[in-house]
């Protein structure tokens, strides 16, 4: 399977040289403290010597490779941390945060580096890249596991398979479990089991003073609450997570209908989908997506639309009954590709996710939840679904509802019955500005229909919108002030609430 490597991802020699030239042209080659004074060799040495893992200073030869490898997307942001630390232990993380504190620098953290906005790559900070800490310990008796946040979802589920267990992870193999759960997390069977955030039983965190603490429902519970869906505003570095796993369901069965001429069937199919949301059982994932490349060859083509449903359950009859919901898909007899009620596996699903968002591409994303009435929504969606700017761009509709209220013991608070996400994929650097602008432009055009956004696919830098309820946001702001009064942790890249 084409799963990318777990550790830092190489950006290639040419990419590194090019990006370093960018840094050089900005005259940012000397690492500085928080006041802009260049750090002395002795000051740098103090960090190098207190960290067992790797340290890359701005200006070091290997810096740009280390910076680029923290980020899945090929369009690396032009933002430059003062230093990148790749810890091997909790002690290294403590040392990095204490160094930041002593020198007035801010801290960001990277787990798997799949944030679409690359929110961990910021100017003038200490970037803690958790990629080298890769421990997992499973307790089959309690169906729980301890894991470092830089471990990627598909690898965790491979470790869990012999125990008959699974955790909800991203539908793509390589997002880190850390960012996935911290930002909410739509994962396998999340409509039934809840988001990734809900599976976080405890976290070990290095706080703003550089102390290692454990947080769960009974101790340091502010940190636990925020780790469950708080996103990039989290006021600490999560070094370890205790997760609830689930017994792995026996049946993974799928139905897919794909139409080559999306424009011809769009109104009927989208109307059907929006109207069926209240009837989608919790163990069924129902997705519609458009893309503009041929299924078999990947060659460019006019937008085609797929309706895909995945039933995940222990009861085969229940899976088949759920998939029978798709018997009423309009025009399904004319589908150019169809599979009905076929068994599939988690590995196959990960591969399919990888095919949609392959490594090495340039990416931008944005999203929203909506509860707009079908007749209002469908005509407004034509542009974002049908006028895709590149062959691999895809727009995605997901039936999240009927929504159950989120419990109050987590920061994750934003949801809506229909999730919409749009993702531009391109290869040519010359298209960067145009392609990066496309997703927020589409979502802003629909903002009168939006309830707010999902943090995992956020683009709040270019499209501020609501990511929390008022109640959760007020609590979060107060906790950030209480636990990180000096703003040691960089926080959101953009505005997580409407302007
Ligand atoms: C190809 C692709 C497919 C995806 N598919 C899905 C999907 O199916 N479902 C879904 O819900 N999401 C999906 N996502 C979104 C993804 O889950 C989020 O971007 C998530 O944040 C990625 O986790 P990460 O650890 O790789 O991210 P990172 O980029 O490492 O982290 C994201 C942010 O979280 C914070 N953070 C991360 N780790 C820590 C830590 N240890 N301590 C403190 N703060 C931390 C930082 O602010 C960081 O900028 C996908 C993303 C991509 C690129």
Burial class (CB in 10 A: 0-12, 13-18, 19+), 104: middle
Same domain, 115 and 140: no
**Is residue 175 lining ligand 1, measured as CB closer than 6 Å?**
yes
Q: Domain containing 327 — which CATH number? A: 3.40.462.20
Euclidean distance between CA atoms 172 and 186, whole angstroms: 11
Same domain, 124 and 140: no
Same domain, 314 and 451: yes
Euclidean distance between CA atoms 233 and 446, whole angstroms: 26
Euclidean distance between CA atoms 322 and 339, whole angstroms: 15
**Mutational test site, ligand 1, from 109, 208, 227, max ligand atoms within 8 Å of CB:** 109
Ligand 1 nearest atom to the CA of residue 237, by list position: 42
**Mutational test site, ligand 1, from 74, 182, 228, max ligand atoms within 8 Å of CB:** 182
Ligand 1: which residue has its CA nearest to atom 28? 113
Ligand 1: which residue has its CA nearest to atom 3? 172
- Length of the chain equals 499
Domain boundary among 79, 97, 132: 132
**Is residue 168 lining ligand 1, measured as CB closer than 6 Å?**
no
Same domain, 297 and 149: no
**Helices (H), ranges, 304-359:** 316-323, 346-356
Quote helix, strand, coil % in the chain, to nearest 5: 35, 25, 40
Same domain, 221 and 348: no
The alpha carbon of 460 and the centre of ligand 1 are apart by a number of angstroms equal to 14
User: pLDDT for 93-141, tens place per residue?
Assistant: 999 999 999 999 999 999 999 999 999 999 999 999 999 999 999 999 9
Contact 134, 91 (CB under 8 A): no
Same domain, 333 and 413: yes
**Is residue 350 lining ligand 1, measured as CB closer than 6 Å?**
no
In a domain, 485, yes or no: no
Q: Which residues, listed in sequence order, are joined to residue 394 by a DSSP beta bridge? A: 291, 423
Ligand 1: which residue has its CA nearest to atom 47? 232
Domain limits for position 438: 251-457
Phi and psi of 467, rounded to 5°? -115, 0
Same domain, 242 and 278: no
In a domain, 267, yes or no: yes
Neighbours of 445 (CB within 10 A): 12
Sheet of strand 212-216, all strands in order from the earlier edge strand to the far edge: 136-139, 144-147, 237-244, 200-206, 212-216
Same domain, 198 and 279: no
In a domain, 364, yes or no: yes
**Is residue 81 lining ligand 1, measured as CB closer than 6 Å?**
no
137: left (phi over 0), alpha (psi -120 to 50) or beta: beta
**Is residue 132 lining ligand 1, measured as CB closer than 6 Å?**
no
Ligand 1: which residue has its CA nearest to atom 1? 357
Total structural domains within the chain: 3
Q: Domain containing 93 — which CATH number? A: 3.30.465.10
Same domain, 120 and 230: no
Phi and psi of 168, rounded to 5°? -65, 125
**Is residue 133 lining ligand 1, measured as CB closer than 6 Å?**
no
In a domain, 474, yes or no: no
In a domain, 235, yes or no: yes
499 residues of the chain, pLDDT tens digit each: 334 444 444 445 555 455 455 554 444 578 999 999 999 999 999 999 999 999 999 999 999 999 999 999 999 999 999 999 999 999 999 999 999 999 999 999 999 999 999 999 999 999 999 999 999 999 999 999 999 999 999 999 999 999 999 999 999 999 999 999 999 999 999 999 999 999 999 999 999 999 999 999 999 999 999 999 999 999 999 999 999 999 999 999 999 999 999 999 999 999 999 999 999 999 999 999 999 999 888 899 999 999 999 999 999 999 999 999 999 999 999 999 999 999 999 999 999 999 999 999 999 999 999 999 999 999 999 999 999 999 999 999 999 999 989 999 999 999 999 999 999 999 999 999 999 999 999 999 999 999 999 999 999 999 999 999 999 999 999 999 999 999 999 999 999 999 8
Same domain, 168 and 38: no
**Is residue 148 lining ligand 1, measured as CB closer than 6 Å?**
no
Same domain, 120 and 195: no
Same domain, 449 and 376: yes
In a domain, 95, yes or no: yes
Structure tokens at 435: 């392609």
The packing angle between helices 432-445 and 374-386, to 10°, is: 170
Domain boundary among 200, 216, 248: 248
In a domain, 465, yes or no: no
Domain boundary among 114, 132, 150: 132
The alpha carbon of 375 and the centre of ligand 1 are apart by a number of angstroms equal to 34
In a domain, 369, yes or no: yes
DSSP string, 381-447: HHHHHH--SSTT-EEEEEE--SPPPPPTTSS-----SEEEEEEEEE--GGGHHHHHHHHHHHHHHTG
């Amino acid at each position: 399977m084409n799963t990318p490597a777990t550790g830092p991802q190489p950006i290639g020699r040419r990419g590194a040289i090019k990006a370093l030239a960018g840094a050089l042209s900005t005259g940012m080659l000397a690492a500085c403290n928080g006041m802009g004074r260049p750090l002395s060799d002795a000051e740098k040495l103090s960090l190098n010597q207190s960290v067992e893992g790797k340290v890359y200073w701005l200006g070091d030869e290997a810096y740009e490779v280390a910076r680029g490898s923290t980020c899945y997307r090929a369009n690396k942001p032009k933002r430059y941390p003062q230093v990148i630390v790749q810890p091997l232990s909790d002690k290294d993380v403590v040392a990095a945060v204490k160094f930041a504190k002593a020198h007035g620098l801010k801290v960001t953290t990277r787990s798997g580096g799949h944030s679409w906005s690359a929110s961990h790559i910021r100017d003038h900070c200490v970037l803690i890249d958790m990629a080298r800490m890769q421990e997992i310990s499973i307790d089959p008796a309690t169906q729980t596991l301890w894991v470092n946040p830089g471990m990627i979802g598909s690898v965790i589920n491979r470790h869990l398979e012999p125990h008959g267990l699974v955790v909800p992870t991203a539908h793509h193999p390589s997002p880190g479990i850390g960012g996935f759960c911290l930002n909410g997390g739509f994962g396998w069977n999340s409509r039934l089991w809840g988001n990734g955030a809900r599976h976080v039983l405890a976290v070990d965190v290095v706080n703003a003073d550089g102390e290692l603490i454990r947080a769960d429902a009974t101790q340091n519970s502010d940190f636990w609450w925020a780790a469950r869906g708080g996103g990039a505003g989290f006021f600490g570095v999560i070094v370890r997570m205790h997760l609830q796993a689930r017994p792995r369901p026996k049946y993974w069965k799928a139905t897919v209908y794909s139409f080559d001429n999306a424009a011809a069937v769009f109104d009927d199919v989208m109307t059907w989908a929006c109207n069926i949301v209240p009837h989608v059982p919790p163990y069924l994932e129902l997705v519609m997506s458009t893309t503009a490349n041929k299924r078999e060859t990947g060659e460019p083509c006019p937008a085609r639309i797929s309706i895909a449903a995945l039933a995940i359950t222990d009861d085969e009859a229940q899976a088949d009954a759920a998939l029978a919901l798709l018997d009423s898909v309009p025009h399904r007899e004319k589908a150019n590709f169809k599979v009905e009620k076929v068994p599939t596996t988690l590995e196959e699903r990960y591969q399919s996710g990888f095919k949609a968002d392959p490594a090495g591409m340039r990416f931008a994303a944005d999203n929203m939840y909506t509860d707009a009435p079908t007749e209002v929504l469908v005509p407004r969606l034509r542009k974002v679904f049908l006028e895709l700017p590149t062959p691999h761009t895809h727009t995605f509709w997901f039936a999240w509802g009927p929504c159950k209220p989120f419990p109050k013991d987590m920061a994750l608070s934003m949801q809506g019955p229909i999730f919409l996400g749009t993702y531009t994929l391109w290869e040519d650097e010359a298209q960067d500005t145009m392609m990066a602008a496309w997703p927020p432009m589409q979502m802003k055009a629909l903002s009168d229909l939006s309830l707010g956004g999902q943090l995992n696919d956020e683009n709040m830098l270019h499209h501020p919108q609501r990511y929390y309820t008022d109640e959760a946001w007020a609590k979060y702001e107060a906790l950030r002030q209480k636990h990180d009064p000096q703003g040691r942790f960089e926080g959101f890249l953009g505005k997580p609430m409407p302007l």
